[in-house]
C-alpha cells in the first residue's frame, strides 16, 4: 500500500479506510470470519464526491459552455471506461483484494471493478483528509487528465447522454432502463438491460455491469434512430 500512497501523493492517517477501499465484496464474502468491510459503501460516496468536484470545476473553468456541453464533458470524465483508465495510470489493480472466484475469472482486469475502486479510493481520501485532499487527488488523477481527452473527442462516448439529449427535444417522450436478466455467479455476472421508451421496449444491451449494459442499450437505440 505504501507504493500506492506514493503514486497518488497522499498518505493515510487511517489505513483501515485505504484497506476497505481496496477490498472487493468477493474477498469480504470469502473471509467472513475476519469481518471485513467491502468497498461498496465507499464507492457510493465516491461517486457523489467525484460528481460534485467535477461539476464545480467545469462550471468555473468553462463559463461560456452551455449546460448540455458541460453535461457531456462531465459524463465522459466520470464514466466507467474513464475511471478504468485512471485505475491503470495509478496501478490500482495490483493492490485490490479479490476473492478466489473473482480472481480466477479475470476480475483484476474488469473495468467495472476497477472503476468502482477508483471511486472508493476517492471516498476514502475524502473521509481521511477532507474535501481539500479529495479535490487534489481528483483534479490531478481524474478530472484534468480525462477532461483533456473529452475535449479532444478521444474520451469514451457516453451513449446514454447522447440519447437523452435527443429524447429531451420531445417533452412527451419518457426514457428509462430496467434490468431484464442477470446471469452467472456473483463474481462473473452478465447483465441484460432493456431500454424503455414510453414504457415500450425499444432496445436492449448486455454488459458485465449494469452501467455497461445500459450504455450498450443506449448505443443500440441510437443505431436504430440512425444517430450513432
119 annotated active-site:
yes
Look at residues 120, 75, 25, 79 and name the one whose alpha carbon lies nearest to residue 207: 79
The b-or-e profile of 202-228 (16+ CB within 10 A means b, else e) is bbbbbbbbbbbbbbbbbbbbbeeeeee
Q: What are phi and psi of 22, to 5 degrees?
A: -100, 5
H or E element, residue 17: helix 15-21
200-207 and 175-183: which strand pairing? Answer: unpaired
Cα end-to-end distance, the chain, whole Å: 42
With contact defined as beta carbons under 8 Å apart, do 74 and 56 qualify? no
**Selected catalytic residue, list 43, 47, 102, 158:** 47
Task: Give the helix ranges, DSSP H, for 139-209.
Answer: 144-151, 159-167
**Selected catalytic residue, list 43, 80, 85, 119:** 119
Q: Which residues pair with 196 in a beta bridge?
A: 176, 201
103 annotated active-site:
no
Q: What are phi and psi of 64, to 5 degrees?
A: -100, -5
Catalytic positions: 47, 119
Amino acid at each position: 500500500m505504501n507504493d500506492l500512497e506514493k503514486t497518488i501523493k497522499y498518505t493515510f492517517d487511517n489505513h483501515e479506510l485505504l484497506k476497505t477501499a481496496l477490498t472487493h465484496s468477493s474477498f469480504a464474502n470469502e473471509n467472513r470470519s475476519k469481518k471485513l468491510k467491502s468497498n461498496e459503501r465507499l464507492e457510493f460516496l465516491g461517486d457523489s464526491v467525484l460528481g460534485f468536484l467535477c461539476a464545480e470545476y467545469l462550471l468555473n473553468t468553462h463559463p461560456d459552455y452551455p449546460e448540455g456541453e458541460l453535461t457531456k464533458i462531465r459524463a465522459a470524465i466520470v464514466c466507467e471506461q474513464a475511471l478504468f483508465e485512471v485505475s491503470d495510470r495509478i496501478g490500482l489493480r495490483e493492490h485490490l483484494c479479490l476473492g478466489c472466484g473473482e480472481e480466477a475469472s479475470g476480475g483484476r482486469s474488469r473495468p467495472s471493478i476497477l472503476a468502482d475502486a477508483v471511486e472508493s479510493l476517492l471516498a476514502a481520501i475524502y473521509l481521511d483528509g477532507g474535501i481539500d485532499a479529495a479535490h487534489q487527488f481528483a483534479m490531478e488523477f481524474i478530472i484534468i487528465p480525462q477532461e483533456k481527452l473529452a475535449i479532444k473527442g478521444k474520451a469514451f462516448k457516453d451513449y446514454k447522454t447522447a440519447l437523452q439529449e435527443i429524447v429531451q427535444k420531445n417533452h412527451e417522450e419518457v426514457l428509462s432502463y430496467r434490468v431484464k436478466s442477470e446471469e452467472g455467479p456473483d463474481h462473473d455476472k452478465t447483465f441484460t438491460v432493456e431500454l424503455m421508451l414510453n414504457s415500450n421496449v425499444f432496445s436492449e444491451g448486455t454488459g458485465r455491469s449494469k452501467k455497461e449494459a445500459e450504455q450498450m442499450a443506449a448505443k443500440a437505440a441510437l443505431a436504430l434512430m440512425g444517430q450513432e
